[in-house]
A and B are shown apart, each in its own frame.
Chain A
């Protein structure tokens, strides 16, 4: 069959870097072609060449039966290529129909004046929404009112409306719940059946196996190969992408005869004023990693925010190392040895106007200062010492401590945040989705760090929507639904099925 698009020997150089080195990539009609690689492997660069945003230095692109040296955004769109970025590009204050027909609103003539034809626009939008299974929403709904999953459907509908033949989805599942992922996959299968080609970029190997037909693996800008997905195991994929074996389990092995210590942290009957957390009680032993599973909105992050003092609680007790804590705000949590690695690094994690050194040293300096962190001096030499120590300890890859944290990869940004808390000397560290958007290699480093923290006697709590992550990392997993803990499993007895059942209330 004639491929929808074929990229041959694409090479792209940036000053000092070969971002793409003779990459081959093609999309056949009716297939899901997975693009896999670590962060920085060159996937985004390749897609930017495909969208016409970048001009390749070498290689050819066959589109619409014509060979091109380079594409322009216009050529790319005309050739039926449509890209749905991870940061969705819908406009929140416009309606669904306006988003879909942005830039080419249908018009009609009233006398000599052309006006927008809202009737035909809303009719075609309704048809498109039916195609992506978004029938509960009206074309005139404001996009700002939609969930992330629904916004994604609007983007797909837009691509369909544009008559796209190849739809590129860049990490489409990173912010979706399990159920929403299944909805998305149903749409993808339907698009396949209509003969469209899908390029699927994701770090989640189980999803790749579920939805992918062929897979192209990239490493450090180089081309590793293209294979049928069913011929590869997840271990194969990881090995080819990372270039080494990656451990999938971070618990202590049974033969080590590891013994957990006493309960070092517990919380009793924690309830939040806004009702998002109800009567939550749990224990954490020394050396143990406790996971929290559940659907988005089940109250996991909300529980952690309440413990950390970032959201008001109405009742409940928190005990850390034999002392009852009173925490009204994050500053008091910091002072008493509790840290929170938040879910959104960019929005709530680090400071984009701060260098690595400053970001790392901040929590320790704040903790050392008095009068609510308002009074105290900062010492430049001490700051460098604190930061350098963490940089070496957790191997943060940065050009210098003076480099801005915003310029690092997601994984290294996460390490900076981790370093910040370790430097502050936390006794309990809570992780909310710690590996979101982080590549496999760095993920495993972060898991190892978390395990070494637990072994060092620091309490570790992990909230995650990725069940394989919890099963590979945690010693016990609590499942939450509707603001309560439904069930707690030892990892040995936990399975994805059990967790999912508890989360959806099937065994409540």
Chain B
């Protein structure tokens, strides 16, 4: 067929590129108009970012599981376990906070993530099933090691560093989330293994025939997810100055929402790391904004659900997924 080249910037092109940032901007405008004096203050905006940092961290990890066309339901439990273990190491063993955090992230983040990945590659079962299982197992471990009691009495140096503010202005959790996001963006955009992860998410068979080590990359993706969840765990413990055994219960849905609202394809192979930040912020803005407007918290989940379906529907009809199908 003869085709005539037409270069026209359509709504579809726009939506493809800027959908998430547009949604965020619209929401900030709406809440800003409704509550100009309380919502649109620098202090409140910083607060939203701080509140969103855990969702963003969990979402950043979840992104890699979803990029492979999979899912990681265990992030909430990893978050709780790593937080509880780190807290216990500091409180009961008197370990130096830096060492405890390092151990918490590597052993209870990366290592558990690797176990998730190994289970997925070894059994060939869908990640949904494996991580649904590890979610329950790890949560149970949290209750066992903490005796279902909160671990408190953390060293002040820990809570003040991770839970504190840099130069007294920028909350450290935000910095942790942004630095993690920057590193992962570099991985996905610039590194060969990042490129391989996209390839694998697009078509695992093609990836195998192209010479990409499929199993190693699946394990890598779950390890990243584990590390991010553990970082979220550290942030959570520091902010509360205590490790709650049921911390983060149900947070995996926030993580998934952040990734999906951020425009990643649930079928794998499509998505961008920085958009997860925006996805996480959108969730934060909804919760904070509805509070400010005085809407009962009963309605917040309702708003989230509607937004999720709306965002994905718009993407379905105007976004990149329409062109690829």
Give A residues with C-beta under 8 Å from B.
14-19, 40, 42, 220-221, 308, 310, 329-331, 333-335, 340, 342, 347-354, 358, 362-363, 365-367, 369, 372-378, 399, 404, 406-407
Interface of B is mostly: helix
Q: Which chain A residues border B194 with CB–CB below 8 Å?
A: 378
Q: Which chain A residues border B202 with CB–CB below 8 Å?
A: 351-354
B170 within 8 Å of A (CB atoms): no
Q: Which chain B residues border A310 with CB–CB below 8 Å?
A: 208-209
Q: Is the CB of A378 within 8 A of B208?
A: no
Q: Is the CB of A353 within 8 A of B192?
A: no
Shortest CB distance A398–B (Å): 11
From 1 to 19 in chain B, residues with beta carbon under 8 angstroms from any chain A beta carbon are 1-6
From 190 to 233 in chain B, residues with beta carbon under 8 angstroms from any chain A beta carbon are 190-196, 198-199, 201-203, 205-213, 216-217, 220
In the bound complex, what is the Cα–Cα distance between A280 and B4 (angstroms)?
51
Contact digits for B249-280, partner A, Cβ 8 Å, 1 yes 0 no: 00000000000000001000110000000000
In the bound complex, what is the Cα–Cα distance between A362 and B206 (angstroms)?
12
Give B residues with C-beta under 8 Å from A.
1-6, 190-196, 198-199, 201-203, 205-213, 216-217, 220, 265, 269-270, 323-324
Give the nearest-CB partner of B193 in chain A: A374
5 A-B pairs with the lowest CB-CB distances in the bound complex, closest first: A353-B202, A353-B269, A16-B4, A334-B211, A376-B192
Our pick among B3, B6, B198, B206 for the contact of A350 (Cβ within 8 Å) is B206
Our pick among B1, B6, B192 for the contact of A378 (Cβ within 8 Å) is B192
Shortest CB distance A383–B (Å): 9
Q: Which chain B residues border A351 with CB–CB below 8 Å?
A: 198-199, 202-203, 206-207, 269
Q: Is the CB of A17 within 8 A of B4?
A: yes
Q: Is the CB of A19 within 8 A of B1?
A: yes
Shortest CB distance A354–B (Å): 6
Give the nearest-CB partner of A399 in chain B: B5
Q: Which chain A residues border B212 with CB–CB below 8 Å?
A: 331, 366, 373
Q: Is the CB of B206 within 8 A of A374?
A: no
Interface of A is mostly: mixed
Shortest CB distance B208–A (Å): 7
Q: Is the CB of A349 within 8 A of B206?
A: yes
In the bound complex, what is the Cα–Cα distance between A71 and B2 (angstroms)?
25
In the bound complex, what is the Cα–Cα distance between A376 and B194 (angstroms)?
10
Give the nearest-CB partner of A42 in chain B: B1
Q: Which chain B residues border A375 with CB–CB below 8 Å?
A: 191-193
Q: Which chain B residues border A354 with CB–CB below 8 Å?
A: 198-199, 202
Q: Is the CB of B1 within 8 A of A330?
A: no
Our pick among B2, B5, B209, B211 for the contact of A18 (Cβ within 8 Å) is B2
Q: Is the CB of B191 within 8 A of A362?
A: no
Q: Is the CB of B3 within 8 A of A362?
A: no
Our pick among A220, A353, A376 for the contact of B198 (Cβ within 8 Å) is A353
Shortest CB distance B70–A (Å): 15
Most interface-central of B3, B211, B265 (chain A CB within 10 A)? B211
In the bound complex, what is the Cα–Cα distance between A363 and B212 (angstroms)?
9
Most interface-central of A221, A329, A333, A351 (chain B CB within 10 A)? A351
Q: Which chain A residues border B205 with CB–CB below 8 Å?
A: 347-348
In the bound complex, what is the Cα–Cα distance between A19 and B3 (angstroms)?
10
> Are A374 and B216 CB-contacts (below 8 A) given A17-B3, A221-B1?
yes
Shortest CB distance B264–A (Å): 11
In the bound complex, what is the Cα–Cα distance between A383 and B15 (angstroms)?
27
In the bound complex, what is the Cα–Cα distance between A221 and B1 (angstroms)?
7
In the bound complex, what is the Cα–Cα distance between A452 and B3 (angstroms)?
30
Most interface-central of B192, B194, B270 (chain A CB within 10 A)? B192
Q: Is the CB of B199 within 8 A of A363?
A: no
Shortest CB distance A304–B (Å): 11
Q: Is the CB of A330 within 8 A of B199?
A: no
Q: Which chain A residues border B3 with CB–CB below 8 Å?
A: 16-17
Shortest CB distance B7–A (Å): 10
Q: Is the CB of B208 within 8 A of A330?
A: yes
Q: Which chain A residues border B210 with CB–CB below 8 Å?
A: 330, 334, 362-363, 366
Most interface-central of B5, B6, B209, B212 (chain A CB within 10 A)? B209
